Amino acid sequence: MTLRPGENLLRVIGGLAALSVLAFFWWPIIVVLAAALIAVVGVAFAEQRELKRLLDGIRVDRWLPPVIGRNADFVARLNIENTNRVPVEGELRDVLPPNAVPAIAVREFSAEAGQTSLLEGVFRIPRRGRHAFGPVWIRLRGRWRLLEAQRPFPCSGSIKVLPETFASRERMEKEAGAEIRMLDELQRSRQRGAGTEFESLQPYRLGDDPRRIDWRATARQQSLVVRHFQIERHRDVMIIIDSGRLMGAEVGRGSKLDCAVDSALNLARVVLQSGDRCGVAAYDRQIRGFLPPLAGASALRSLVECVYDLQTHWHEADFTTILAELRQRQAKRTFLIFISDLGDAETSQRTCASLIQLQRQHLVIFAALRTPLLGKVVREPIGDVQDVSRKAVAFRLLRDRRRALHTLSHNGVHVVDVEPTQLTAPLINQFIELRQRNLL
C-alpha cells in the first residue's frame, strides 16, 4: 500500500505553517501548534489503519473477450467486490496495453457494503497479437481526507487480436459482397476418371477403360468390375507471407502485412473446408514461422497461432531463405501461394527467377500487393522540381513492377495484382478456380 497526503492534510500543514509566524510575537502559540500537530498525526495514523482495512476488503475481477478483431470495439468489465461493513468510494486506474485506444482508463467508483460494483469500458486495439491488461490500481480517500492510499490488484488478463475480417466472417461476406465465391458454391460432385485417387468399384459398362478392370474383384463377383478414380481431394497448400520492409507500408486499413495475414487466414479456412491440407510460412531475411500442411478444421487454430501476431521487422526480405526451406521440407508437389510485393528491378529479378524455378515443380500463385502511395504520387499535379523527381521515381518503380509481373505470368506463375485492402476475394476466387481445373 502506498500513502500520499490528502487535500485536508495539505490545508492543515499550510495553516500550521502560517500560524507558526506568530511564535515570534507570542511564544505560547508554540504549545497550541504542537498540540494541534500531535492531534493531526494521531488522526492520520487512525485513518491510515482504516484505509488499509478497506483496501484489504476489496476484490477485483476482470472479464475480457478471448478474441477480437483488429481495431474493432470491444467491452472490458471490472467487478469490484466490497466485503467491508461500510461503503467505499474511490478512484480506479486500469493498466492498459500500450496499443489500446483510449490509452488511459481512470474511473470513479462506489460500492455499498457487501455489494459489487460493475465498471465497463469500450476499447479497441489497432495492432494484431496478444495484449495484456492489468494490474488495476485503486485509490481510496480517508474519512477526514487527510490521507489517500492506493494499491495494485493483480487481476491481469490477456486478449488475442486477430485480423479484422478473419475474426468476423459476417464482415468479410459483407465487404466482399458478390465478388467472392464462398466454398458452398464449389462443385461438390466427385469427378471420376481424370484423377488418380481411388474412389469405388463399379460394374463394367460399355466404354469403360479395360485397363481399369480389377481382376481380383472380377473373380469374386464372377462379372467384370472396374476401378473408378476421382480427382485428388487432399492436396497440399502452402501460404507464404512476406513480412519484410515493403510489407510495412500503410494502406489505409493497417499495413500491407495486416491485409496479407487477414487474407491468408481467410484463405486457409477455405482450403481446410475444401478437404485439402494447408500450411503457412512467414519470412523476411530469416524464417519467421513455418507450419507444414495440416488437415481438418481443427488445424485452423494452429495456423492462426503461427501468424496472427506476425509483425514487420523492417528488414529487406530475402527470398532465398524461404526457397531453401521449401526445397528441404516440401518435396511433394504443392500449391504454393505467395503474398508479397516486388521492389526494385534487381530484387524483382531474383524473386522472379526463384518463383519460375518453383513453378517447374509446384503450382504457384503470386499475390502482388500494390503500394497506394505510388499511385497517389503519379496522380498528383506537378508543383515544383521535387514533384517531377518523385513522379519519375514512381513511374520507374511501377514500370519495373509491371515488367516483373509480366515475366512471372509469361512463365506460368499465376499472378494476382490487387490493392492490399481488396486481396481476400480475388485470392480465394483464384484458388477455387485453379482447384476446380485440377492443375495440381
* Per-residue model confidence as pLDDT tens digits over 357-385: 999 899 999 999 998 888 888 888 888 88
pTM, whole model, 2 decimals? Answer: 0.79
pLDDT at 169: 62
pLDDT at 170: 58
Co-location of 281 and 319 in the same domain: yes
Co-location of 224 and 244 in the same domain: no
Co-location of 146 and 13 in the same domain: yes
Between 43 and 22, whose confidence is greater?
Answer: 43
User: Which residues form the domain of 8?
Assistant: 1-162
Helix axes 299-307, 256-273, angle to 10 degrees: 170
Percent of the chain with pLDDT over 70: 92
Taking 80 as the threshold, does the pLDDT of residue 218 lie above it?
yes
pLDDT at 11: 87
Taking 60 as the threshold, does the pLDDT of residue 196 lie above it?
no
Co-location of 257 and 293 in the same domain: yes
Mean pLDDT of 329-357: 89
pLDDT at 183: 47
For residues 116-143, b (16+ Cβ closer than 10 Å) or e, as one string?
Answer: ebebeeebbbebbbebebbbbbbbbbbe
pLDDT at 272: 92
Partners of 68 in the beta sheet? 161
pLDDT at 231: 56
* Whole-number Å distance between alpha carbons of 407 and 116: 67
Taking 50 as the threshold, does the pLDDT of residue 197 lie above it?
yes
Co-location of 274 and 399 in the same domain: yes
Fill in the amino acid letter for 392: A
pLDDT at 189: 35
* Whole-number Å distance between alpha carbons of 352 and 415: 12
Percent of the chain with pLDDT over 90: 50
* Whole-number Å distance between alpha carbons of 110 and 51: 15
* Whole-number Å distance between alpha carbons of 337 and 281: 10
Co-location of 320 and 382 in the same domain: yes
Which 3-state string (H, E, C) describes the chain? CEEEECHHHHHHHHHHHHHHHHHHCCCCHHHHHHHHHHHHHHHHHHHHHHHHHHHHCEEEEEECCCEEECCCCEEEEEEEEECCCCCEEEEEEECCCCCCECCCEEEEEEECCCCEEEEEEEEECCCCEEEEECCEEEEEECCCCCEEEEEEECCCEEEEEECHHHHCHHHHHHHHHHHCCCHHHCCCCCCEEEEEEEEEEEECCCCCCHHHECHHHHHHHCCCEEEEEECCCCCEEEEEEECCHHHHCECCCCEHHHHHHHHHHHHHHHHHHCCCEEEEEEECCCEEEEEEEECCCCHHHHHHHHHCCCCCCCCCCCHHHHHHHHHHHCCCCCEEEEEECCCCHHHHHHHHHHHHHHHCCCEEEEEEECCHHHHHHHHCCCCCHHHHHHHHHHHHHHHHHHHHHHHHHHCCCEEEEECHHHCHHHHHHHHHHHHHCCCC
pLDDT at 373: 86
Backbone φ and ψ of 113, nearest 5°: -60, 125
Mean pLDDT of 298-307: 93
Co-location of 224 and 296 in the same domain: no
Taking 90 as the threshold, does the pLDDT of residue 28 lie above it?
no
pLDDT at 32: 83
pLDDT at 413: 94
Co-location of 86 and 126 in the same domain: yes
pLDDT in tens, 308-336: 999 998 888 888 899 999 989 988 889 99
Mean pLDDT of the chain: 87
Between 342 and 242, whose confidence is greater?
Answer: 242
Co-location of 263 and 211 in the same domain: no
pLDDT in tens, 72-126: 999 999 999 999 999 999 999 999 999 999 999 999 999 999 999 999 999 999 9
Determine how β-strand 236-242 pairs with β-strand 363-369: unpaired
Taking 70 as the threshold, does the pLDDT of residue 195 lie above it?
no
Co-location of 92 and 22 in the same domain: yes
CATH code of the domain containing 339: 3.40.50.410
CATH code of the domain containing 94: 2.60.40.10
Co-location of 254 and 398 in the same domain: yes
pLDDT at 66: 92
Co-location of 199 and 333 in the same domain: no
Count Cα atoms within 13 angstroms, Cβ side, for 243: 25
Q: How many domains does the chain have?
A: 3
Backbone φ and ψ of 61, nearest 5°: -120, 145
